[in-house]
Structure formats: structure tokens, C-alpha cells
Amino acid sequence: MANILIVDDSNSIRDMVSFTLKSASYNTVEAKDGLEGLNAAKRSSFDLVITDVNMPNMDGITLCQELRKLPNFRFTPILMLTTESSTDMKMKGKSAGATGWLVKPFNPEKLLATIKRVIR
Amino acid sequence: MSIDLSQFLPSFLEESDEGLALMESGLLDLEPGDDESINAIFRAAHSIKGGAGTFGFNQVTDFTHLVETLLDEMRDGRREIVGADIEILLKSVDCIRLLIEAEKVGETCEDSRIGHTTDLLNQTLALSDSSNEESNEQASVESTNVGGSSQTSWQIEFIPEHHLVQTGNDPIFLLNALADLGEVSIRCQSQLPAFDELDPEELFLTWQIELIADVDEDEIREIFEWVEDECQLNITKVETVEQVLAEPEHIASENTEAPVPQIEPEPVTAPEASIAPTSAPAASTPATNDKANKPAAKATVKAKPDAGSIRVGVDKVDSLINLVGELVITQSMLSELGNNFDLTKVERLNAGLEQLLQNTKELQESVMRIRMLPISFAFNRFPRLVHDLSLKTGKQVDLVINGEQTELDKTVMEQIGDPLVHLVRNAVDHGIEAGEQRIANGKPAQGTITLDAYHQGGNIVIEISDDGGGINRDAVLNKAIEKGVVEPGVTLTDSQVFDLLFEPGFSTAKQVSDISGRGVGMDVVKRNIQALGGRIQVESEQGQGSTFRVYLPLTLAILDGQLVKVGDQVYVIPLISIVESLQAKAELINTVSGDLVLYRLREDNVPVLPVYQLFNLPADNKDVEGCLLVVVEADGQKVGLMVDDLLAQQQVVIKSLEDNYQQVDGISGATILGDGSVAMIIDIPGIIDMALSHARDKQDQFYQSMTQEHV
């Protein structure tokens, strides 16, 4: 089953995303900020990355840019999990190489449906 | 399938508490240009908003959205950081806290502060236009769902840019999503370049799609939302199918001959639809999904009361595991010894038992540490409190906090918060003088309040000191005389005078202010502290300031006790409530009406309580003269407990009587002594109440018999 990397500084959001994905039998790896996420990405490959935007140490936009520099992650879907519905933030995400975004509030059904749009 | 996230609610609540505390302390220290702090505050608000939305706490989400917008403007420099805005944000933190509290029990928060602060936030935000932009966007999202309900035929041309796949987007998923909307027929055109120009990482295909579905243009565009800047998308409405087909629409779907695999159009209103394998993109039905989830989330909130959890550092757990490991080793050593024991092994047995004792002690301490939290949990609300108070009173006050890492039992911590708040309020309101007065007295205009915590023996000491005017001894004494608390003309030591502050209904402030001095207060503070098995002490020097010192036991599970013997029973008296123990002298004993005995202890007349009588025990000694009196104090009342013998002082583990048996008057709990016997722990305030009501009954009987004799 697909391996998914979850990057979010909020324990509860991370737990919820991970729980939702596991219940749909995906494998998950969690990281609590961009830096940790990047390190996890350097160690192993993922089929999908779901990342928050606002995080300490390294934000989601920078993480996205950094991931696209890694050979393994050139085509990997990256979804931004964010409450920011402003077009500005979406554009920033896109130009950093994000595949798409998930607008919070986090909704498990919506998350799973959206994932179906980026991985098999 | 529905995914129940209610199990994550406690963790969200805990996290939002932390977030709010972080926002508060961050805001208090915020300086213009401090990007890291403002970012951290923004992130905290952002996380709360996100989590709240997930659990359907809409009031929280809406309110936090305003806060976040304001913070966002500060963050990217569109708005200057000024004091007034910070005040609004601090108020907002309180509001979010109130809103979350209300949502926890599934209620709507009706507090007037919410509306007021919302207005303030809106007014502040109205000065810039970004919030309008946001609300417009929301409005447009809502309007997309007010689509028609008839099948329409659409012609869609999708020409992606060559680099589309490099952001992780795969056209097949977009096409699948379209297929989920209704009936599609897809034609693909390839525009492959010459082989030597072919880049395998680029996309050279374009698509023509014909879609027949009950959707409007926005719903189709939403599928291409992620790639709208990386493709050319032409959508044209061909015609409304209903106008062409005379037959009802379901016939059309039965006769499909489409070239791509067909999926029955699923009803988008069903909540399950969005997670079916090839379902409609949920993004197209946000309103429906949200509505479906709201009631569910609310219901689970109500069902789950706050169980009270504790966050324990890994090091504490590790040390516990380590100690249990050692205990197991000791146990196996002892059981091996016991297998074939003879007298030659006595020494090893002794050593083993010694080790067991050590292990047990360490284990006990380690387990207690789990319940211990640094007192910063109780202290961290004070910077905000002092900030607010100094604004309100117009006094400049600086707060210094020491010993934040001192650890204290969680239960004690929870219950000491309010008394401490009261003491700090008092310090600002009554302790620190107004600025001009301070300068006139040769002090800096800014007053200082110091909070300190440290361990002393088995107690934690919390000190609240101010460098204000100190307590006016004469004012207190006069007030006490006026109130009839003390007799005029008595000589009292300073500390006895200061203790008068804790008498019910005592307040020396000339004007009752909004902050403190409503007359209910210090007596309640003292009662609360005593209820925790602690005590409070005041020290003050005129013109130099005052120090309130609160002594609390480190834990409520273990008590330092004095073992006493009454008849053939052993009782435990909490050491903290014992004033002194003495042997009664005949000349100091007075018997008053009924058979109430008073013992003269310096200036006080202390009622003597014969414990054997209260508990109906056969006692060795029923005579007050020459017996042992343990003088204890509770609620400001001293009494002498008549006991037969004083035994050891030791720490005892408190076991609840109520849980195991039932509540007994005059007894607060039980403990098991070293020899395995059970000893009762005397509830000092309880036994005083008991004795007083006994005395009253006796007195009534006495007077009744007197009047009867006279008749």
C-alpha cells in the first residue's frame, strides 16, 4: 500500500490525518515540521506528501521547494493542508511545486477522496 | 465507512490550551519587528482554527478566523504592531478560551464579551480591505452550490502545459474525476515532437471531453482547480439535455455506449459518496459534507466528558520502568533465597530486604513524580493578569517569577490557582502604591511583584511579595476592633494582627474596587489553602512591602502524620495542623457550662475534645488533668485533642474511606501502618464541627434540665 508522509506541527492534526490514512490502510510516516519532513524524505521514498504550510523551523512552501530538488520527489504528489483559502497562498504553493491543496477544516472523507485524485 | 475522530478531541483541547497560553505570553512580550514571535502566535491561532473546524466548533472557527486575519496583517507587515491591537488580541485569547469551554460541553457561548470583541476585531480589520476580499471569496464558494438540477452537455477542451506532470499532477485523475460527475466521452490527441526533441518528463497530450451531467461550470472548473494555471481549459455549454431528450434522464444512462469505463453518477449529497473508490471529488460538495458532519461532531463532544489527562515526560516514565526492573531483580533474589532457606543465609536476607526497602522508596517517589508538574502551569497566567491589572489601576507593575520549575502535585496545582490569583490581585491593588506616592517615598515608580516557589522539607512554599506600602498594622487592628473580631486593648504580635486579615468579612481598603476588596476573599483564600492541607503566613514591613507565604504539601496522596493512641486505637493527626502538644496542668483547666472543658493556652482558651468520647472508645485516662493534649488548628479555631499517648511521626499513604466503606464524621481517611493494622486519619475541621455540635447539644440539655429544675 502507498506510503504517505505527513508533515504538520500540530499533534492533533497529525494524529487525525495519520489515523484517517491508516484506517484506509495507507502506511504513514509523521514529521512535526518541514525540516523533519525533509529528513524523512531523504531517508525513504513516499508516494504522497501531505504538509501543513505554517510550521516552525521550515514551512510547507520551503519544504515543497526542497522536496522537488530531490530526485525521488520530482513527480511525487505534494498536497498542502491549509486553512488559507486565499489565492495568494495557493499560488505560492503551486509555484513551489505543490500538486494541490486541501483546505482545512480537516475532514477525513474529503481527505481520502482528495488522495484518490493523486495516487492510485 | 465513517471515520470517527472524536478520540482526538482531548488532544486537540490540550493543544489549544497550550496554543492559547503561547499566544498570551507571546502577545505580552511582543515587540515590533519580532517576526519569530508573531509567527508563532499566528501559527497557534491557525492550528486552533483548523482543529476547531474539524470538530465542528464553528463559533471558535469564525472568531479565530478574525484573529488570524489581524495577525496575518501584522505578520507580513501590512499593519503596525500597536498596543491597542495587542489589547484586542489579548481579549480575543480570552474569548477563544470561553468559546472552546462552551463547545466542550456542547453549548453556544452567550457571553457578551464575544460579541464585543468580535465588533472590535471587525472594526480594526475594516481599516484594511483584506478581510472583505476574504468574505467575497466565501460568498462565491457558497454560490457555486446553488446550481441547476438538469443534465447538461458540456464540451471541455483540456490542453495542459508540457510541464504539468512535474508538480505531481496526473491527467488520468482529472479525467476520472470528470467521469465521476456524469457521462463522459474522451478523445485524446497527441502532439508528440520529433524523437530527438522528446523529453520523457513532459506531457504532449491534449484532451477533448464531452460531459453530460447535472453540474454547472464551476463544478467542472473545480476539478481543474489545481492545474488552472498550467493548462488551457475551454469549457462550453452545448445544450441542456432535458430539452433534447423527451425521455427521463435515467434511460440515457442505461443506454450508454461511451468509450471509457462508465461509473453510475453517484448522488453527491450522500456523505459516503466522497470516499467511494472512484467518487466525486469531495471538494465539489463542501457545503453538503460539512453539514453532514456537524451534528455528528457535536454529539461526540457531549458524550465525552473531560477525563483529565496528564502529560508525563519520557524521562519520568523511563525512570519508573528502570525502578520496576530493579524491583523485579530484588524480588527474584528474595524468592530464590526463600526456596531453600537456612540460617546461614540470614545476612543475605537482610541485605535483600534492605534493597527492597530502597527500591520501594524510590519507586514511590518516582510514581509521585508522575503526578507532579512544574508550577509554571499555575504561574503562567500571572503575566497576563498583572498586565491587565496594571492597565486597570494605572499603576506600573513589573512581575518577576522565580522557581517556575518547582514541581507540585497536579491536583494541588489545580486548586491553588484561584487563591494565588487573589493574592496577586491584592498585591497589585492594595500592596503597590500609586506611582506618585512611590516616587514621593523614594521608590522607583514601577512596583515589583515577585512570585517564587521552592521546596522546603515535604512542602512547597509559594511566595507572593510586593515592594509596596506594606500592611498598616494599626489600620488592621482598628478595623478588627471595630468589627468586634478582637477585644479593644489586647496586645497582639504583628503576625497575629496580620492573621486578622484572614477573618471572614475583613477588608481594609477604603474603597471597594473592581479588582479586589469585595470583602469575600482572604478568608476564602485561607480556607482553600487549609483544605489542601496547607497554611498561609504573612510578613510585612510598613513602607517596604509584604510577603504572603503559602505552604502546601507536595502531594495529597501522602501525609506527614503524628500517630496517637486513644484507648486501644491508633489515630493519625496531620502534622501540618498540629500547633503543639502538651501535658495539661490542673491550674489551667476550666470547666464551663455543661461539661465543656477549656484549657488556658497563653491568651487563648482552647476547648478540650475528649477523642475517646467522640468515637465511643474505652480510654485509659478520662481525666483532663495530666493527660496529653495535642493542640490543633483548623479554620482559625484551635482545639486540644485529648489522647492517651503520642507515638511516632511518619508519612502515611491516604486511602479513601468513602471509596472502600462510607464517609465517617471526623475521619478524613484511613491508612495502613507498618504492622498491617488500619489507622484512621482524623479530619481536624470535621472533628471540631462534631465537638462543637456535641457541646451545643449538651448545653441545650443542661439549660433544659436547669429550667425544668426551677419549674
Range B352-381 average pLDDT: 86
DSSP B433: P
CATH of B375-553, one of 3.40.50.2300, 3.90.1010.10, 3.40.50.720, 3.30.565.10: 3.30.565.10
- Cβ contacts (< 8 Å) between B282 and chain A: which residues? 107, 109-110, 113-114
Domains B152-284 and B558-708 in one fold: no
Range A43-57 average pLDDT: 90
* pLDDT recorded at residue B512: 46
Nearest alpha carbon to residue A84 among A51, A41, A116:
A51
Contact B106, B302 (CB under 8 A): yes
* pLDDT recorded at residue B305: 40
Cα gap B643→B290, rounded to integer Å: 69
Per-residue pLDDT band for B128 (boundaries 50, 70, 90) equals low
- Cβ contacts (< 8 Å) between B15 and chain A: which residues? 10-12
Count of alpha carbons within 13 angstroms of residue B686, beta-carbon side: 15
DSSP B237: E
Cα gap B476→B467, rounded to integer Å: 19
Alpha-carbon distances of B351 from A76, B155, B326, B362, rounded to whole Å: 64, 90, 14, 17
Task: Look at A54 and B39 and tell me if their CB atoms are within 8 Å.
Answer: yes
B98-107, B539-548, B589-598: least confidently modelled range? B589-598
CA B82 to chain centre: 30
User: For B26-59, what is each residue's pLDDT tens digit?
Assistant: 888 887 777 888 888 888 888 888 888 888 888 8
Closest residue in B to A68 (Cα) is B167
Task: Look at A109 and B2 and tell me if their CB atoms are within 8 Å.
Answer: yes
* Average pLDDT score, chain B: 79
Residue B477 has pLDDT above 80, yes or no: yes
Residue B172 has pLDDT above 60, yes or no: yes
Contact B60, B100 (CB under 8 A): yes
Q: Which of residues 92-111 of A touch B (CB under 8 A)?
A: 94, 97-101, 103-110
Q: Which three cell numbers stand for residue B112?
A: 457578551
* pLDDT recorded at residue B570: 92
Residue for cell digits 482531548? B10
Closest residue in A to B178 (Cα) is A117
Cα gap B665→B579, rounded to integer Å: 22
Range B173-201 average pLDDT: 84
Q: Which three cell numbers stand for residue B181?
A: 460527475
Task: Look at A83 and B290 and tell me if their CB atoms are within 8 Å.
Answer: no
Residue B314 has pLDDT above 50, yes or no: yes
Domains of chain A: 3-115 (3.40.50.2300)
User: For B666-683, what is each residue's pLDDT tens digit?
Assistant: 888 888 887 888 999 998
Q: Which residues of B are catalytic?
A: 46, 68, 426
Q: How far is A18 from chain B (nearest CA, A)?
A: 11
Task: Look at B15 and A20 and tell me if their CB atoms are within 8 Å.
Answer: no
Range A43-67 average pLDDT: 91
What count of CB pairs under 8 Å joins A to B? Answer: 141
B152-284: CATH topology is Alpha-Beta Plaits (3.30.70)
B558-708: CATH topology is OB fold (Dihydrolipoamide Acetyltransferase, E2P) (2.40.50)
Residue for cell digits 453549548? B107
How far from each other are the two terminal CA atoms of chain A, in whole angstroms? Answer: 10
* pLDDT recorded at residue B563: 94
Per-residue pLDDT band for B562 (boundaries 50, 70, 90) equals very high
What are the residue boundaries of the structural domains of chain B, listed by start? 6-144, 152-284, 314-373, 375-553, 558-708
Residue B271 has pLDDT above 50, yes or no: no
* pLDDT recorded at residue B709: 62
Closest residue in A to B53 (Cα) is A105
Task: Look at B293 and A19 and tell me if their CB atoms are within 8 Å.
Answer: no
Range B416-425 average pLDDT: 88
* pLDDT recorded at residue B594: 63
Cα gap B524→B426, rounded to integer Å: 13
pTM of the model: 0.56
Per-residue pLDDT band for B453 (boundaries 50, 70, 90) equals very high
The CATH homologous superfamily for domain B6-144 is: HPT domain (1.20.120.160)
Range B175-179 average pLDDT: 85
Nearest alpha carbon to residue A90 among B230, B697, B555:
B230
H-helix or E-strand containing A22? helix A11-23
A20-29, B131-140, B320-329, B374-383: least confidently modelled range? B131-140
Higher-confidence residue of B693 and B398: namely B398
Residue B527 has pLDDT above 50, yes or no: yes
Higher-confidence residue of B553 and B451: namely B451
User: For B572-583, what is each residue's pLDDT tens digit?
Assistant: 998 888 889 999
